Structures are given as C-alpha cells and as structure tokens.
Amino acid sequence: PVSIPYTTAASQFLYGSNVIFAALRARRRKLYHLYLHPRFEGRSDTDKHDTVIAAAKRAGIPVQKHTDLALMDKMSGSRPHNGAVLEASKLPAPPVLALGKVEGGRVALELERQSREESEVNGSPEAFEVLKRTWRQPFLLFLDGILDPGNLGGILRSAHFFGVDAVAVATNTCATLDSAVVAKASSGACEALRLFSIPKPSAFIHDSREAGWKIHAAVAPDAGNGRRQIMSAEIATKSPLAEHPVILMLGAEGAGLRANLVKHADKLVSIQQGERAGNMPDVGLDSLNVGVAAGVLIEAFLRKPVGAQSRASEERTADTGDLGF
C-alpha cells in the first residue's frame, strides 16, 4: 500500500495549479512540501509551471519532482491534480463569538478560547482591518447549512471577487473549510479571504447586532411569514452599506436559514424571479442554486449607489471646505 508522508498530523494536501499558486503567494498557511509529477512539467502552459516553481522557491519549501503518480493520487483523494500537490497546514479561520463596533477602520473581535495548536494555525486576532477610503460600511457574509463543498467554494470565489470584507462559516452546519475540495472550487480565492469559524451562530448574530451591525437574512420569495421582503433590485439601487455595517446571512438550499437565525434579522432579502413566456413548460424549478444566489445578492449589496461619495472624498471636502485571479 502507498503511504502518505505527512509532515504533521493535521496536514492538508491541496491540488490544482491555481489553488497551489494562491496558497504559495498568500502564505497564510504553513507550507511544507510541493510534489510534482512529470506531467506537470509537460503542461502546454509553461508560464503556470514556472510561476508555481518560482513561488515555491520564494516560500523556501522543498520541491520534489518526479513524484510517484499513485502517491499523488492518494494525496488528492483520487481527484484530478494535474501533476501538482502542495502539503500545507489548515487555512486560518479563528473561532469568533461576536463582532464589535466599527471604529477607526477596525472591527473588534471576540474570540472563543483556543488550544495552543489551534492558535498557532488561526492566530488570536483582537480585530481586523476594513476599508476606510470607500463609500460603504463593512460587509460580512455569514453562511449556515452550506454542506456541499463545491457550493461553499463557489461562494468564497464570488465573495473574493466582489470584495466582501470577511466570510463567517457556521462550524457545525457547513462543509469544513479544511476541505481541499472547497479550496479547489474557490479556485484559490479562499487563500485571500478573511475567514472566521462560528461555533455559536445564533449568539454570534445576536451579539453582533447589539454592537451595531444590521442583519439581513436571505429567504425565498414569499417565505417571510408576513414580514416585508426587500428584493435584490431594490438593494442594488440603494445599498444599506452606505449607512450601516451589514451581515448577510445565507442558508441551505431547500430548508433555507434556520428560524433561530431569521428571528434576529432586521431585514429579509430575496431575489425576484424573472417572467417567462406563457408557452414555456413548467418544470417545477423556482429557485437558484445557493452559490448563484450568493453572487447575485453580494453584487447587489456592494454595488455603489449613484452619487455615493467615498469617505475619503468626504474627508477631503471637509478639509478644504492581486493573488493572481
């Protein structure tokens, strides 16, 4: 049998050139070993090959060429690795109990107690920095019940592309952030995002709301139980981020957000279904994949309203009267 040479018991094996390059470039993980197979060196896109090798050398990690294919297949769980596998630590995602107030371009964090080993991976940040010279307040995406690692990775990719300040993932109801499948589905975006694990979701939402964060819950159309819903088109014309820091909660496909989370929401948000021609057959499809819905809602919240000034512009008025993807 093929034996995997773990550097640590908690090592992960990342695969895919985009993911590997992002991890090497971001250096948020501890990096241990890059394994290559001749098929990687024989790729037609030699620029990608050279870029990955150069990034590994800058990171100062061993590069093992001509690695046995059976070993690499086992490292990647028999998923397509295209001849490159990176051994690394878990992705940092400190356990957060609550967000604090937004003050001076920083958001305070209340962390759950960690073991020494956990804090070595996650760090123990007391706050995180957010944009100061912008038109908007901070925006955090909270995920609950996203079990499919492909969906989770796709949401992380959208969050990175549109510029979400942080993504918080409920620990016990979502796919694990430790999954190499999540990293692959995000195309490496997870390496750049600020990630938090949330061990107590309901308390996290409640306490963050007490600190001044406005809570928006994504729900299916007409699923508000009598409460008014705001459609994404309305949010896109006048984003609440112009006035308040916002947490957008997204739940599982089908079941949606749990009731104990929805009850904390200041607003319910949804996506209006488009009209269809009368002769188009009804195939019983009346919802979006959660990853697609996430992209639509994130873009709506982060779309700059017409005429909105950045805080930097406001300051000047008052004073004068890439990870490669």
With bands split at pLDDT 50, 70 and 90, how would you rate the model's confidence at 314?
very low
- The answer to whether the beta carbons of residues 157 and 150 sit under 8 Å apart is no
pLDDT at 44: 56
pLDDT at 159: 98
In angstroms, what CA-CA distances link 2 with 9, 68, 74, 89, 310? 17, 10, 8, 22, 57
Indicate the average pLDDT of the chain.
89
Instruction: Please tell me the distance from the alpha carbon of residue 183 to that of residue 152, in angstroms, as a whole number.
Output: 9
pLDDT at 80: 87
- The answer to whether the beta carbons of residues 97 and 207 sit under 8 Å apart is yes
Strand, coil or helix: 216: strand
Instruction: Please tell me the distance from the alpha carbon of residue 125 to that of residue 119, in angstroms, as a whole number.
Output: 10
Task: Indicate if the pLDDT at residue 321 is higher than 70.
Answer: no
pLDDT at 277: 72
Mean local confidence (pLDDT), 281-286: 70
- Report the range out of 146-160, 211-225, 271-285 with the highest average pLDDT: 146-160
pLDDT tens per residue, range 41-65: 666 566 777 889 999 999 999 999 8
pLDDT at 182: 96
**Domain range summary for the chain, segments of one domain joined by +:** 12-88, 96-273+286-302
- The answer to whether the beta carbons of residues 152 and 182 sit under 8 Å apart is yes
Out of 39-48, 128-137, 141-150, 269-278, least confident range:
39-48
| CATH of the domain spanning 12-88, picked from 3.40.50.300, 3.30.1330.30, 3.30.420.40, 3.20.20.70 | 3.30.1330.30
pTM over 0.85: yes
Task: Indicate if the pLDDT at residue 7 is higher than 80.
Answer: yes
Amino acid (1-letter code) at residue 242: A
Strand, coil or helix: 55: helix
What CATH code would you report for 96-273+286-302? 3.40.1280.10
- Angle ∠(146,152,154) on CA atoms, nearest 5: 140
Instruction: Please tell me the distance from the alpha carbon of residue 288 to that of residue 158, in angstroms, as a whole number.
Output: 15
pLDDT at 320: 34
Q: How many CB atoms lie within 10 A of CB 252?
A: 18
Strand, coil or helix: 298: helix
Residues of the chain above pLDDT 70, percent: 92
In angstroms, what CA-CA distances link 219 with 136, 139, 251? 24, 18, 8
Q: Say whether 96-273+286-302 and 12-88 share the same fold.
A: no
Task: Indicate if the pLDDT at residue 312 is higher than 60.
Answer: no
With bands split at pLDDT 50, 70 and 90, how would you rate the model's confidence at 225?
low
Instruction: Please tell me the distance from the alpha carbon of residue 249 to that of residue 143, in angstroms, as a whole number.
Output: 6
Task: Indicate if the pLDDT at residue 228 is higher than 60.
Answer: yes
**DSSP assignment, residue 180?**
H
Question: What HEC string does 234-284 produce?
Answer: HHHHCCHHHCCCEEEEECECCCECCHHHHCCCCEEEECCCCCCCCCCCCCC
> What residues contact 287, with CB distance under 8 A and at least 6 apart?
220, 253, 293
**DSSP assignment, residue 158?**
H
